[in-house]
Amino acid sequence: MDKQKKNTKENTKENLTVDQVGESFEVEFLPRRVLLWRSFKKHKLGILSMWILAFFYLIVIFADFLSPMSPYKQNASIGFAAPSKIYWKHKGEWIGPYIFPLETARDPITYQRSFYETSELRMVKGVGTNGSPFVYTLGENNVTALVAQVKIDEIGVGATGEGLFKTTTKDWNMVRIEKEGIFKEPLVNVSVEKDTLDLYRSNPRYVKTLQQIGDLAQIKTVESLQKISVKYADGKTESISLIALEEYDFKVYPIKWFVRSWEYKLFGFIPSNLHLFGVDSPAVLYLFGGDNYGRDIYTRILFGGRTSLSVGLIGILITFTIGLFLGGISGYYGGWADEILMRLTEILISIPTLYLLISLRAILPPDLPSTTTYLMVVVILSFIGWPGMSRVIRGMVLSLKQKEFVEAAKAMGYPSLRIIWRHIIPNTATYIIVAASLSIPGYILGEAGLSFLGFGIREPQSSWGLMLAQAQDLVALRNYTWLLLPGLFLFIAILAFNLFGDALRDAFDPRSLGH
Amino acid sequence: MLKFIIRRLILSIPVLLGVSILSFLIISAAPGNFLDVFRLDPSISRETVQRLEREFGFDKDPFTQYLTWLFQVVKGNWGYSFQFKQPVFNLIWQRLGATLLLSLTTLVFSWAIGIPLGIYAALKQYSFKDQLSSVIAFLGLSIPSFFFSLLFLYFASRTRLFPIGGMLSVNSSQMNTWELIVDYLWHVIGPAVTLGFSGLAGIMRQMRGQFLDQLHMDYVEFAKAKGMPRKVVFYKHALRNAINPLITIFGYSLSGLLGGAVLTETVFGWPGMGRLVIQALTAQDLYLVMASLMVSSLMLIIGNLAADILLALVDPRIRYRFH
């Protein structure tokens, strides 16, 4: 392939057109960075990855502003909530995005949790038992709440007829959305669980009823609206018995833009409480679902990205500083320093990475504060990375040492350290940049792996690997697929870094610059 | 050749010694003395603790301690795991088998598929299938193995096509050899695929690149011009030259598998070394940690040695350099 490239280049030099003269002129005289950028721009995937990475870092920096709730805020009662259902139309009318608050119910037999949407009554209009019509709206005339009083009849159905077991009354502050039919006509729920039936059969309170209806086959529950109690701001309550409800409406919880809610510090020092979007409580907006404590996965992915994406950059910075320093010295001076260093790197390289990682973590006390844990993880990752880097730098310095410009610098009497730092190291720059972008995924993966195993970042701090650890529970994995989302982000970030690094490597290849 | 192998073997001894010193340093640096746990455990008698103290020389200075420990290790006494209540040596021996089995299966999987795919992609360069395989390779290289494992587990638990962990079924003790092999293969698909996929992708890309480089060499052009059958040119001449660099990768991939298996083993509940280390570290079972560090490094060194020997076998230039 390269052969072909060269051939075409030679051909162009033989019969030059005006354009090609311009091109060869540019190759000769344009600054190097312009040429680099030009050849990098040819890699479409590399450009795309660059934008994706820029986007990732941007959303991670503004994580607080973009998050509707704090990453540590728990809603344990609705843990593992599915991503919120977002509605756009209300009663056939487009009113913009809104959601409803969630509540949980636990199946008495399987203990499987299920979620249902609830809401408050916002408006009721109807005719009372005294014959006069009424209209109540939340927020108007000091009305603070509209509570539905519901009568629940449990009726046994037997071989010879039906009989009432018991009647209870309940106040519904929050009405289950699926049960809205109750305002039109009584709602019949038929339940036929065997255990419940047996319970009723053996209950002495129902002997009389049971004798009337014969063998109990099933129990039905009939829910019907009895009264509406209206609560006022001054604490008074008015109870209205009603003949018919003509119209009613639920309160909706719109997704609001630029809301003020939980406090944070932008960039770590500007206090603020402005957020891009949010909803009023008790509604909780889960864009990507919730985790086991009911924390918002979307928010935690943003905050976890801070950890995961910064580990790579800081880790690479430390590794390169150590690698350049040690590799430079051992390559330039050689001798016993070189010998010791190379033996040491050999030993470190001989221990499988992850074993070394977790063993090093084991040295440290397990209960460190979260910032220290983060620093420790970065330091450990850099400790793993420097031997390989030092060896490569050493090799490059060894070969550069023989070059004329180094000889010249020596002849001019420059001190050795200056020659290393100002003459030799800058010549390894392209390699260093490419190697850096290609080895960042290793750091991100290392951190994710450590946290996944429970040796890295700890709760309540967040990192993509740590979040994935929740998906290790098979039951959770099966039922709450959204727990895998952090992995997707991890995957995209690593893919982008790989593609970006690949494009950089191609762009920095002297052949692609026309040299 | 023998001289080369012996030379390489001797060179790896100081590395192993270095690893042992490092492991010992890690153990010494860990908070607390690891016999503290024994002292607190009422089921272990005072005599046992004192005997262990003598055996591992805790009353002496660190240097003597290290020498004593090294001596014990050479003798085969690798210490006692308080968590599993058995000697560390036996424990590691049991788990090493599972890890090696998984690594070997993964290796076979990734190489048996990666090499032919790479050759195919090189021969059909720029075709749709070539580009498709490049895309898949890039995805494979970028997907974190434990995320892939979780995805696989999700798939397995949804479809019930594959077991959701372990190495053998519960009733494996009643199976005959063939059933055992089938049962093992059924269980190993998940871990091997998720662990070996990135390796497969890497091998495929390397093979494709190397083969393409060779195909553009002058000697290939010449052989073609001479009228040599295509098959002979490709598979006898170009392929043989292309495969050399891959042999170096072979050794490193073996060692990489041992290290990377920790995560896969944890996700799939594979009874291997990786999980043992995790359990040992969470329980601060430090003899076990030390021994597994040593053994895993030994495996890595053996892997590199195997790579070097293989390379020397196929490439005479390396053999002669050492004469």
Chain B residues within 8 A of A445 when measuring between CB atoms:
144
Cα separation, B322 vs B314, whole angstroms: 15
DSSP for residue A83: P
> Which contiguous run of DSSP H or E holds residue A186?
none
DSSP for residue A149: E
- In this structure, of A230-244, A300-314, B146-160, B261-275, the range with the lowest mean pLDDT score is A230-244
Q: At what angle do helices B145-159 and A429-453 cross, to 10 degrees?
A: 40
Is the N-terminal amide bond of B229 cis, ω within 30° of 0?
A: no
Beta carbons of A487 and B300 less than 8 Å apart: no
Chain B residues within 8 A of A468 when measuring between CB atoms:
146-147, 150
Q: What is the pLDDT, as a whole number, of residue A392?
A: 84
pLDDT tens profile A1-51: 444 444 444 444 445 555 555 566 666 677 777 877 887 888 888 899 999
Mean pLDDT of the A97-113 span: 78
Tally of domains in chain A: 2
Amino acid, single-letter form, for residue A510: P
Mean pLDDT of the B274-284 span: 79
Chain A residues within 8 A of B267 when measuring between CB atoms:
472
In the structure encoding, which two tokens stand for residue A361, read together? 């973590």
Beta carbons of B263 and A3 less than 8 Å apart: no
- In this structure, of A75-79, A86-90, B96-100, B220-224, the range with the lowest mean pLDDT score is A75-79
Q: What is the pLDDT, as a whole number, of residue A55?
A: 95
Interface test with B, best of A359, A367, A443, A463 (most B CBs within 10 A): A359
Query: Which residue stretches of A402-515 are H helix?
Result: 404-411, 416-418, 429-453, 464-469, 474-479, 485-508
Q: What is the pLDDT, as a whole number, of residue A464?
A: 92
A360 lies in some domain: yes
On whether the CB atoms of residues B207 and B164 are closer than 8 A, the answer is no
In the structure encoding, which two tokens stand for residue A346, read together? 């050999």
Nearest residue of chain A to residue B284 (CA atoms): A362
Q: What is the pLDDT, as a whole number, of residue A3?
A: 44
On whether the CB atoms of residues A377 and B296 are closer than 8 A, the answer is no
Q: What is the pLDDT, as a whole number, of residue A10?
A: 46
| Residues A314 and A221 both lie in one domain | no
Last residue of a domain, one of A214, A235, A251: A251
- In this structure, of A251-265, B32-46, B152-166, the range with the lowest mean pLDDT score is B32-46
Burial of A322-334, coded b for 16+ CB within 10 Å and e otherwise, reads: bbbbbbbbbbbee
In the structure encoding, which two tokens stand for residue A384, read together? 């793993």
A43 lies in some domain: no
On whether the CB atoms of residues B138 and A495 are closer than 8 A, the answer is yes
- HSE, side-chain direction, 13 A CA sphere, residue B160: 0
Chain B residues within 8 A of A362 when measuring between CB atoms:
26, 30, 281, 284, 289
How many Å lie between the alpha carbon of B14 and the closest alpha carbon of chain A? 9
What average pLDDT does the structure give for chain A?
Answer: 81
Per the listing, tokens 């790896």 go with B12
Mean pLDDT of the B28-33 span: 66
Cα separation, B291 vs A7, whole angstroms: 58
Beta carbons of A352 and B300 less than 8 Å apart: yes
Q: What is the pLDDT, as a whole number, of residue A5?
A: 45
Mean pLDDT of the A139-151 span: 83
Q: What is the pLDDT, as a whole number, of residue A492?
A: 94
How many Å lie between the alpha carbon of A496 and the closest alpha carbon of chain B? 9
Chain A residues within 8 A of B139 when measuring between CB atoms:
495
Beta carbons of B147 and A365 less than 8 Å apart: no
- Chain mean position to CA A402: 51
Range of the domain at A240: 102-251
Contact residues, B window 188-217, toward A, CB-based 8 Å cutoff: 212, 216
Helix (H, G, I), strand (E, B) or coil at A125: strand
In the structure encoding, which two tokens stand for residue A98, read together? 């809104």
In degrees and rounded to multiples of 5, residue A399 shows phi and psi of -75, -35
Cα separation, B211 vs B242, whole angstroms: 5
Q: Which of B26, B150, B157 sits opposite A468 (nearest CB)?
A: B150
Per the listing, tokens 């009228």 go with B227
| Residues A54 and A118 both lie in one domain | no
Does B32 contact chain A (CB < 8 Å)? no
- Residue A150: strand pairing partners: A170, A225
| Residues A53 and A116 both lie in one domain | no
How many Å lie between the alpha carbon of A146 and the closest alpha carbon of chain B? 44
On whether the CB atoms of residues B175 and B82 are closer than 8 A, the answer is no
Mean pLDDT of the B109-114 span: 91
pLDDT at B58 over 80: no
Beta carbons of B293 and A351 less than 8 Å apart: yes
Beta carbons of A487 and B151 less than 8 Å apart: yes
pTM here is 0.83
Beta carbons of B154 and A477 less than 8 Å apart: yes
Beta carbons of B296 and A351 less than 8 Å apart: yes
How many Å lie between the alpha carbon of A466 and the closest alpha carbon of chain B? 12
What average pLDDT does the structure give for chain B?
Answer: 81
- Other Cβ atoms less than 10 A from the Cβ of A435: the count is 22
Query: Which residue stretches of B124-166 are H helix?
Result: 128-142, 145-159
In the structure encoding, which two tokens stand for residue A14, read together? 């033989």
Q: Which residue has the higher pLDDT, A21 or A385?
A: A385
Helix (H, G, I), strand (E, B) or coil at A30: coil
Please choose, from the candidates B245, B246, B276, the residue with its C-alpha nearest in 3D space to the C-alpha of residue B261.
B276
| Residues A346 and A491 both lie in one domain | yes
How many Å lie between the alpha carbon of A254 and the closest alpha carbon of chain B? 34
Cα separation, A149 vs A225, whole angstroms: 6
Chain A residues within 8 A of B151 when measuring between CB atoms:
484, 487
Q: Which residue has the higher pLDDT, B207 or A428?
A: B207
Chain B residues within 8 A of A441 when measuring between CB atoms:
142
| Residues A132 and A202 both lie in one domain | yes
Please choose, from the candidates A290, A268, A281, A461, the residue with its C-alpha nearest in 3D space to the C-alpha of residue A373.
A461
In degrees and rounded to multiples of 5, residue B161 shows phi and psi of -80, -30
Helix (H, G, I), strand (E, B) or coil at B160: coil
Beta carbons of A1 and B216 less than 8 Å apart: yes
| Residues A309 and A425 both lie in one domain | yes
pLDDT at A190 over 90: no
Q: What angle do CA A486, A437, A338 make, to 5 degrees?
A: 125
**Cβ contacts of A333-337, under 8 Å, gap ≥ 24:** A333/A416
On whether the CB atoms of residues A396 and A425 are closer than 8 A, the answer is no
A93 lies in some domain: no
Instruction: Please give the C-alpha separations between residue A409 and each of A38, A417, A484, in angstroms, as whole numbers.
Output: 33, 11, 56
Chain B residues within 8 A of A499 when measuring between CB atoms:
138
Q: Which of A350, A363, A488 sits opposite B26 (nearest CB)?
A: A363
A90 lies in some domain: no
On whether the CB atoms of residues B20 and B37 are closer than 8 A, the answer is no
Chain B residues within 8 A of A498 when measuring between CB atoms:
138, 141-142
Cα separation, B87 vs B142, whole angstroms: 40
pLDDT at A515 over 90: no
Q: What is the pLDDT, as a whole number, of residue B255?
A: 65
pLDDT at A493 over 90: yes
Q: What is the pLDDT, as a whole number, of residue A12?
A: 46
Q: What is the pLDDT, as a whole number, of residue A25?
A: 65
On whether the CB atoms of residues A181 and A187 are closer than 8 A, the answer is yes
Q: What is the pLDDT, as a whole number, of residue B98?
A: 86
How many A×B Cβ pairs under 8 Å?
133
Q: What is the pLDDT, as a whole number, of residue B258?
A: 62
How many Å lie between the alpha carbon of A445 and the closest alpha carbon of chain B? 7
Cα separation, A293 vs A281, whole angstroms: 17
pLDDT at A92 over 50: yes
- HSE, side-chain direction, 13 A CA sphere, residue A168: 5
Chain B residues within 8 A of A495 when measuring between CB atoms:
138-139, 142-143
| Residues A189 and A325 both lie in one domain | no
Cα separation, B192 vs A352, whole angstroms: 19
Interface test with B, best of A354, A368, A480, A502 (most B CBs within 10 A): A354
Percent of chain A with pLDDT over 70: 89
Beta carbons of B142 and A472 less than 8 Å apart: no
pLDDT tens profile B227-265: 888 888 888 888 888 887 787 777 667 666 665 578 888
Contact residues, B window 70-129, toward A, CB-based 8 Å cutoff: none
CATH number at residue A449: 1.10.3720.10
- HSE, side-chain direction, 13 A CA sphere, residue B252: 11
Burial of B57-83, coded b for 16+ CB within 10 Å and e otherwise, reads: beeeeeeebbebbeeebeeeebbbbbb
- Residue A278: strand pairing partners: A256
pLDDT at A90 over 60: yes
* DSSP codes of every residue in B253-317: HHHHHHHHHHHHHHHHT--SHHHHHHHHHHTT-HHHHHHHHHHHHHHHHHHHHHHHHHHHHH-HH
Helix (H, G, I), strand (E, B) or coil at B231: helix
* DSSP codes of every residue in A192-243: --HHHHHHHHT-GGGHHHHHHH-SEEEEEEEEEEEEEEEEETTS-EEEEEEE
Beta carbons of A478 and B258 less than 8 Å apart: no
Longest distance between any two alpha carbons in chain A, whole Å: 116
In the structure encoding, which two tokens stand for residue A142, read together? 């000091």
Chain A residues within 8 A of B216 when measuring between CB atoms:
1-4
pLDDT band (50, 70, 90) for residue B9: confident
| Residues A221 and A302 both lie in one domain | no
In the structure encoding, which two tokens stand for residue A285, read together? 């907006």
In the structure encoding, which two tokens stand for residue B178, read together? 């063939």
Cα separation, B151 vs A293, whole angstroms: 22
In the structure encoding, which two tokens stand for residue A514, read together? 């026309």
Instruction: Please give the C-alpha separations between residue B228 and each of A422, A498, B237, in angstroms, as whole numbers.
Output: 55, 40, 11
Computed over its alpha carbons, how large is the radius of gyration of chain B?
Answer: 24
Q: Which of B138, B139, B157 sits opposite A474 (nearest CB)?
A: B157
Beta carbons of B19 and A2 less than 8 Å apart: no
* DSSP codes of every residue in B165-185: S-SS-GGGGG--HHHHHHHHH
- Other Cβ atoms less than 10 A from the Cβ of A465: the count is 31
A274 lies in some domain: no
Terminal CA-CA length for chain B: 9
Q: Considering the domain B94-282, what is its CATH architecture?
A: Orthogonal Bundle (1.10)
pLDDT at A430 over 80: no
- Delimit the domains of chain B by residue range: 94-282
- HSE, side-chain direction, 13 A CA sphere, residue B135: 8
Residues 6+ apart with CB under 8 A from A337: A329, A330
Burial of B269-282, coded b for 16+ CB within 10 Å and e otherwise, reads: bbbbbbbbbbebbe
Chain B residues within 8 A of A452 when measuring between CB atoms:
146, 263
Does B150 contact chain A (CB < 8 Å)? yes
Q: What is the pLDDT, as a whole number, of residue A51?
A: 94
Q: What is the pLDDT, as a whole number, of residue A15?
A: 52
How many Å lie between the alpha carbon of B99 and the closest alpha carbon of chain A? 14
pLDDT at A149 over 80: yes
Q: What is the pLDDT, as a whole number, of residue A491?
A: 94
Chain B residues within 8 A of A351 when measuring between CB atoms:
19, 22, 293, 296-297, 300
Q: Which residue has the higher pLDDT, B316 or A387?
A: A387
| Residues A223 and A320 both lie in one domain | no
Nearest residue of chain B to residue A477 (CA atoms): B154
Last residue of a domain, one of A251, A283, A316: A251
Q: Is the dihedral of CA B107, B109, B112, B115 positive or negative?
A: negative
Amino acid, single-letter form, for residue A214: G
- Residue A98: strand pairing partners: A87, A254
Instruction: Please give the C-alpha separations between residue A110 and each of A96, A102, A130, A189, A478, in angstroms, as whole numbers.
Output: 38, 21, 47, 19, 15
Chain A residues within 8 A of B142 when measuring between CB atoms:
441, 491, 494-495, 498
A305 lies in some domain: yes
Chain B residues within 8 A of A356 when measuring between CB atoms:
293
Does B30 contact chain A (CB < 8 Å)? yes
